[in-house]
Amino acid sequence: MSRDRRLPPILATFALVWLGLGAGPAEARLNIEVTGGVEAAQPIAVVPFGVSDGLIPPVDIAAVISADLARTGRFRPLPTRDMLDMPSRHEEVDLRDWSLLGMNSLVIGRVETEGGGFRVSFTLYDVFRGNQLASSSLVSTKAGMRNTAHRIADLIYEKLTGQPGVAATRIAYITASGPGEGQTVTLRVSEADGYDAQTIVSSGEPIMSPAWSPDGRRLAYVSFENRRAAIYIQELATGRRDLVASHPGINGSPAFSPDGRRLAMTLSKDGNPEIYVLNLVSRELVRLTDHFAIDTEPAWSPDGQQIIFTSDRGGSPQIYRMSSGGGPAQRISFEGDYNARASYSPDGRSIVLVTRVNGQFRIALVDLDRGFTRLLSNGSLDESPSFAPNGSMVIYATIHGGRGVLAAASVDGGGNQRLSQDTGEVREPAWSPYIN
């Protein structure tokens, strides 16, 4: 007799430990390294924020803002040691000093206690014109100070570029440590700068394909706990989760529709990998593709009208597009013999995908209007590209020093950064939407 490989239901219930976001101490963080491409960056000075007597702020606000701005590849913050003076109030500012240092912009600010927390105020100056571009104050708890700094960075970024910033967003990713069978796989969520990484799922079996809900409050993912693939949707604040697909065969590639009411996915319950859409309200499951080839990796257009996906129906993996209601599909990728895992930019005008070039797997940006393709990465096994919600950067997985790490590249070619952990592999990054 064969031995039953599946866990009895009660053990299955306990096959996993998870913690809600907001629970547990901050764990291993991702270390960020800016790896180049800042020549065209604008010079900006973010002066260390002033404090009222005796106050020691829990976070160096100016340092966090500077790092956030530098990471975008659009700004080159002035090192503190090069500053001639350190004003924190309007009356202390002499813009000629900053003009002398070649600065385009200047940020000053103060941290004061308010109630049980803090009030953080800041002013952004245009050094050339000599005027204030923005001045505002935010109330923050002690624990929320880094986030407050990210929000200020985003306000500055938006004022200076005309585009919303993404410093206050998050990334979800998978980590793996230890060898094959004995390894621990986790799904984690950190701030966009790699800080405050928290494990939300931990398992001895693979976890794959994290996908954000459009409101940034839930993650869908594939877990192999119980020795079969299943798709879960987990609420970040509470750790509660819901099993949404556990059919025979594969249950993969979850992707929320832009309205958050439907989940596209790949199932092979009918004998072959096909794309389905599950209505999360009615639980109705609709099959969209019907082909003996592989159809997988569905991604929604920003308006929810189209779904693009990977299919090898033409003999090699390529990207196809169909209506999100199903129907005929047309091929939309033409360069190269391997194109997969495509997703739309937030404005819907381009897609990012994995392409094979001379045997190397790289991240490429395809302009849908002009059919123009540009490589964003130069590794050999790059994968899992994910757009920042403002479309300015793409985060992806790559191998560096023989280890899985994450990297981010500016879509305009301006900046690059690398995110790694001290130990273990990091992979499958998913950039969150804007989080309020």
Partner 1 sequence: MEPSLRLTTPGTNGTGLAQRPHLASDRIMDARVTRSPAHGTRRRLAAPGLMCLAAVLAAGCASAPKPAPEPVGAGTRPAPTTTRGLESPRPVYAGPWEDPSNPLYNRTIYFDYDTAEIKPEYVPLLQTHARYLGTNTGTRVTLEGHTDERGTREYNLALGDQRAEAVRRFMIADGVVPDQLATLSYGEERPADPGHGEQAWRSNRRVIIQY
* Residue choice 240, 331, 349, 374 for contact with partner 1 (CB under 8 A): 240
286 binds partner 1 (CB under 8 A): no
Long-range contacts of residues 139-145, Cβ cutoff 8 Å, at least 24 apart: 139/114, 139/115, 141/116, 141/117, 142/58, 142/117, 142/118, 144/117, 145/57, 145/58, 145/59, 145/61, 145/118, 145/120
In angstroms, the Cα distances linking 18 to 169, 194, 233, 300 are 22, 20, 13, 29
In angstroms, the Cα distances linking 34 to 22, 85, 103 are 28, 27, 21
| Interface region with partner 1, contact rule CB under 8 A, candidates 24-32, 78-86, 153-161, 364-372 | 24-32
Q: What are phi and psi of 276, to 5 degrees?
A: -125, 160
Residues numbered 309-328 forming contacts with partner 1, rule: CB under 8 A: 310, 312, 316-317
| Interface region with partner 1, contact rule CB under 8 A, candidates 98-106, 152-160, 271-279, 343-351 | 271-279
Nearest to partner 1 of 54, 182 (CB atom): 182
Name the minimum Å distance from CB 18 to partner 1: 7
238 binds partner 1 (CB under 8 A): yes
* Residue choice 115, 116, 180, 328 for contact with partner 1 (CB under 8 A): 180
CA distance 47 to 98: 11
Residues numbered 342-361 forming contacts with partner 1, rule: CB under 8 A: 354, 356, 361
252 binds partner 1 (CB under 8 A): yes
Measured distance between the N- and C-terminal CA atoms of the chain, rounded to whole angstroms: 56
Nearest to partner 1 of 154, 383 (CB atom): 383
CA distance 73 to 165: 12
Residues numbered 362-381 forming contacts with partner 1, rule: CB under 8 A: 381
CA distance 436 to 433: 10
Name the minimum Å distance from CB 210 to partner 1: 11
402 binds partner 1 (CB under 8 A): yes
Q: Which amino acid, 311?
A: S
CB–CB of 185/203 below 8 Å? yes
Name the minimum Å distance from CB 194 to partner 1: 16
* Residue choice 44, 70, 166, 244 for contact with partner 1 (CB under 8 A): 244
281 binds partner 1 (CB under 8 A): no
Beta strand pairing call for 75-77 and 42-46: parallel
Environment class of 193 (CB within 10 Å of its CB; exposed 0-12, middle 13-18, buried 19+): buried
Nearest to partner 1 of 103, 229 (CB atom): 229
Residues numbered 99-158 forming contacts with partner 1, rule: CB under 8 A: none
Name the minimum Å distance from CB 77 to partner 1: 34
* Residue choice 83, 93, 200, 250 for contact with partner 1 (CB under 8 A): 250
169 binds partner 1 (CB under 8 A): no
| Interface region with partner 1, contact rule CB under 8 A, candidates 44-52, 159-167, 289-297, 370-378 | 289-297
229 binds partner 1 (CB under 8 A): yes
80 binds partner 1 (CB under 8 A): no
* Residue choice 54, 162, 271, 328 for contact with partner 1 (CB under 8 A): 271
From the CA atom positions of the chain, what is the Rg in Å?
23
369: region left, alpha or beta (phi > 0 left; psi from -120 to 50 alpha):
alpha
| Interface region with partner 1, contact rule CB under 8 A, candidates 49-57, 92-100, 109-117, 308-316 | 308-316
Name the minimum Å distance from CB 211 to partner 1: 11
Nearest to partner 1 of 162, 292 (CB atom): 292
- Total of chain residues touching partner 1, rule CB under 8 A: 84
In angstroms, the Cα distances linking 78 to 31, 103, 105, 306 are 21, 8, 10, 45
**Which tokens belong to 146?**
């880094």
Name the minimum Å distance from CB 176 to partner 1: 9
224 binds partner 1 (CB under 8 A): yes
Q: DSSP letters of 300-356?
A: E-TTSSEEEEEE-TTSS-EEEEEETTEEEEEE---SSS-EEEEEE-TTSSEEEEEEE
| Interface region with partner 1, contact rule CB under 8 A, candidates 73-81, 83-91, 126-134, 182-190 | 182-190
Name the minimum Å distance from CB 257 to partner 1: 18
Residue 381's H or E segment, with its range, is: none
Q: What are phi and psi of 359, to 5 degrees?
A: 80, 0
List, in order, residues 6 or more apart from 49 with CB less than 8 Å away: 57, 60, 61, 62, 88, 108, 109, 110, 111, 120, 122
